[in-house]
């Protein structure tokens, strides 16, 4: 069984930053485990600004980060899914190349990142039609050549529209409306995607045979029926606490991620967590600061 001084679960921004900081702090034997075929996480498709101090897109930041990572001797396992962490800090993971294996870590950092709120989490009724997407899935489609998620799109929520704003503007797509709350109305208007903004409305039902064709919006007992062929959920991101939950690590109910103390240690000794995996951060600088503090506090 392979053993490492530090295992980092997740190869997004936080995972790469922790690995780099670990090397700078003198940790020799470091492994990054990433479920996707490449490092970067959400940085890989981020064509929007992620900084509060400068303008830099996720893609640009990833290029800078990977260049620095490659200057260090850090082992990386791609296409490898972590299932859980056992009581002895053995990381159980699976891949097509190695099957199910156990890797020992003296110290472990969870950098699982965030995940999107799905329709299942958003309580509503209606037909199980196609054409109902999250922003992440819509972005993947928009990044495919000559493909669009739909022609007449209704957007529910405003938290993650910025992730696909440019793609929507550059495609032959009709945004039939955006459903949002009153607090963010100015931000929604600034996107200039549509003049049909349904402030304070909620989706009460979805209709469609095969593909969505109509969404019912409700407010103060009044219903509005919006025709569309696609519904995109732009709901707030949530922290991904699946590995923590499977590993009997306490979760923060407010964020759905691992609960940590001031030193970023979880409820289990020598297992830490940081980045969007503990709460959704507003800038890359917040994550950078957190990774430096965490690695500095490692025993």
Q: Same structural domain for residues 241 and 110?
A: yes
| Amino acid 50: pLDDT | 95
Q: Same structural domain for residues 159 and 213?
A: yes
Q: Same structural domain for residues 125 and 260?
A: no
Q: Same structural domain for residues 205 and 249?
A: no
Q: Same structural domain for residues 68 and 156?
A: no
Q: Same structural domain for residues 218 and 241?
A: no
| Amino acid 267: pLDDT | 97
* C-alpha to C-alpha distance for 107 and 102, rounded to whole angstroms: 15
* 44-48, 123-127, 147-151, 217-221: least confident range: 123-127
Residues 80 and 35: beta-carbon distance below 8 Å: yes
Domain count along the chain = 2
Instruction: Please say which residue of 177, 210, 233 terminates a domain.
Output: 233
Q: Same structural domain for residues 71 and 91?
A: yes
Residues 287 and 281: beta-carbon distance below 8 Å: yes
Query: What tens digit of pLDDT does each residue of 175-208 get?
Result: 999 999 878 888 899 999 999 999 999 999 999 9
Q: Same structural domain for residues 133 and 84?
A: no
Q: Same structural domain for residues 228 and 241?
A: no
| Amino acid 116: pLDDT | 81
| Amino acid 121: pLDDT | 45
Q: Is 269 helix (H, G, I), strand (E, B) or coil?
A: coil
Q: What residue has token string 């959920």?
A: 233
CATH number, domain containing residue 163: 3.50.50.60
Q: Same structural domain for residues 84 and 164?
A: no
| Amino acid 125: pLDDT | 58
Query: What tens digit of pLDDT does each residue of 235-292 get?
Result: 889 999 999 999 999 999 999 999 999 999 999 999 999 999 999 999 999 999 999 9
Nearest to 167 by CA among 189, 188, 141: 141
Task: Classify residue 125 as left (phi > 0), alpha (psi -120 to 50) or beta.
Answer: beta
Q: Same structural domain for residues 16 and 109?
A: yes
Instruction: Please say which residue of 213, 233, 253 terminates a domain.
Output: 233
| Amino acid 123: pLDDT | 54
Domain boundaries, position 160: 118-233
| Alpha-helical runs (H) found in the chain | 13-24, 58-69, 135-142, 165-170, 185-191, 242-246, 284-297
């Amino acid at each position: 069984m392979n053993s490492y001084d530090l295992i980092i679960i997740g190869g997004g921004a936080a995972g790469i930053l922790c690995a780099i900081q670990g090397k700078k702090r003198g940790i020799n034997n470091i492994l990054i485990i990433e479920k996707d075929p490449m490092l970067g996480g959400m940085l890989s498709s981020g064509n929007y600004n992620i900084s509060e101090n400068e303008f830099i897109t996720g893609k640009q930041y990833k290029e800078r980060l990977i260049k620095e990572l490659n200057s260090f001797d850090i082992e990386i396992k791609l296409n490898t899914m972590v299932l859980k962490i056992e009581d002895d800090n053995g990381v159980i993971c699976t891949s097509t190349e190695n099957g199910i294996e156990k890797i020992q870590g003296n110290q472990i950092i969870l950098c699982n990142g965030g995940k999107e709120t799905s329709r299942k989490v958003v309580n509503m009724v209606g037909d199980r039609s196609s054409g109902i997407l999250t922003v992440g899935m819509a972005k993947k489609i928009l990044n495919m050549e000559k493909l669009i998620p739909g022609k007449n799109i209704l957007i529910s929520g405003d938290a993650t529209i910025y992730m696909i704003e440019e793609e929507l503007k550059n495609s032959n797509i009709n945004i039939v409306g955006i459903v949002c709350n009153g607090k963010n109305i100015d931000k929604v208007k600034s996107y200039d995607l549509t003049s049909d903004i349904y402030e304070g409305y909620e989706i009460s039902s979805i209709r469609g045979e095969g593909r969505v064709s109509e969404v019912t919006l409700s407010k103060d007992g009044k219903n509005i029926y919006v025709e569309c062929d696609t519904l995109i959920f732009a709901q707030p991101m949530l922290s991904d606490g699946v590995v923590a939950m499977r590993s009997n690590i306490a979760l923060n109910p407010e964020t759905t991620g691992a609960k940590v103390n001031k030193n970023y240690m979880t409820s289990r000794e020598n297992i830490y967590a940081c980045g969007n995996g503990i709460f959704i951060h507003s800038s890359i600088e917040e994550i950078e600061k957190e990774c430096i503090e965490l690695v500095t506090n490692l025993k």
